[in-house]
Amino acid sequence: MKPNRFRNSRVRAVAVLAAVAALGLSLTACGKSDSVHAENGVTTLRYLGWADQVTPPELAESLGYFDGKVKLDWSGTTTSGPSEIQAAATGQVDFGGAFAGAVAKLITAGAPITAVINYYGSDAKSFTGYYVPDNSPIHTAADLVGKKIAVNTLGGQNEADIHDALAKAGLSQDQIKSVQLIALPPPNLEDAVRKGQVDVASLNGQFQQRAVAAGGLRPVFTELDEYGGPINGGPYVFRNDVIAKNADAVRTFTTGVAKALEWERDTPREQVVAKMNQIITARHRPGEDTSTLKYWLSVGVPAKYGVISDQDFTRWESWLRDTGAIHGKLDPSKFYTNKFNTLAQHS
């Protein structure tokens, strides 16, 4: 008997949508993908941006690292990595970036995407911390049981961080599940904990530095505490059909982003901030504010050129297993490739 290809594709689609729902994402605007547009040797890639921030691809394009071969087409703003990879998997955009655990979860469910380069993470200057008011009774991860924590999204790294911190403290799955995660836009997390709307706020990047500069908050723990040092947090992914039909463009994009990461790493901070200010000011997106850019400290990606490794995924194996995303041993080789990063050989 020949396989029922229509039925198999429907099964895969249902699995992907179920994983999307498990990640706490919206299923709106889910539909058939448009073809990537290429004209006169220039490939246009649709993507979602972040408010008040400059992403590595945006920086790469501004610095000329796409060599005039790739053009970015902003399709809107996101507040969630998992929603970005949902949009990529369902064809609303051509690439997206998210926490590596969320990428593994969606691919395991059947999503036709592949990770090509790390774009965020933590280093000695830039990392995620879980902050409370100075007078809070919360002092250790074990004190988070039953508390409300503001995060930028459900199903993302914050959820995995909290799960792993509580598990390492010897707490049960029921105790871990008692923690209530409240999803808020990144610029609003600090305000929520200061006003007492939540007990803890997950803060990173320029928003963390703004909060630290204002005073009155302290971290219960940070990524550096939990994982013993810097980590790669998440990669950009492309749909497999985009990769198959536009391999040269994917290679140009990936290598350009790798160059942009190293430019951020090697360029004096003041020049990076000035460049980001210039980019945000010139794009004229509604409601954007450049005031927090002055708190930018570092690239936050420890891997040179953003190279991906197995450990970037196996780090989240216990969270994936405990949340039912995987059964058995994790095979990270299914999730990524470095072959489109022409600088990977120098890492």
Which of the listed residues 209, 227, 245 is the one where a domain comes to its end? 227
Q: Do both 103 and 237 map to the same domain?
A: yes
Residues 317, 253, single domain; the answer is yes
**C-alpha dihedral, 38 to 39 to 40 to 43, nearest 10°:** -30
Reference 234, options 92, 76, 326, 106; nearest CA is 106
pLDDT 10s digits, 204-227: 988 898 999 999 999 999 999 999
The enclosing H or E element of 217 equals strand 217-222
Please check whether residue 238 is in contact with residue 113, taking contact to mean a CB–CB distance below 8 angstroms. yes
Each residue's pLDDT tens digit, 228-243: 999 999 999 999 999 9
State the number of CA atoms in the 13 A half-sphere of 224 facing the CB: 13
Structure confidence at residue 101 (pLDDT)? 95
**pLDDT at residue 9 in the model:** 35
Report the number of distinct structural domains present in the chain: 2
pLDDT of residue 178: 95
Q: What pLDDT does 155 receive? A: 86
| Spans in the chain with pLDDT lower than 50 | 1-33
- Report the pLDDT value the prediction gives residue 27, as an integer from 0 to 100: 35
Residues 58 and 207 in one domain: no
172 vs 158, 225, 281, 344, CA distance in Å? Answer: 18, 21, 48, 41
Inter-CA distances, 87 with 76, 92, 106, 116, 261, Å? 11, 5, 12, 17, 24
The residues facing 78 across adjacent strands are 50
* Backbone dihedral angles phi then psi of residue 169, each to the nearest 5 degrees: -80, 0
Please check whether residues 160 and 269 belong to one and the same domain: no
The count of residues in the chain is 347
Domain holding 148: CATH number?
A: 3.40.190.10
Helices (H) and strands (E) in the chain, counts: 14, 11
Walk across the sheet containing 37-39 and list its strands: 37-39, 42-50, 70-78
Q: Give pLDDT tens digits for 99-156.
A: 999 999 999 999 999 999 999 999 999 999 999 999 999 999 999 999 999 998 888 8
Domain of 49, in residue numbers: 5-123+231-289+297-346
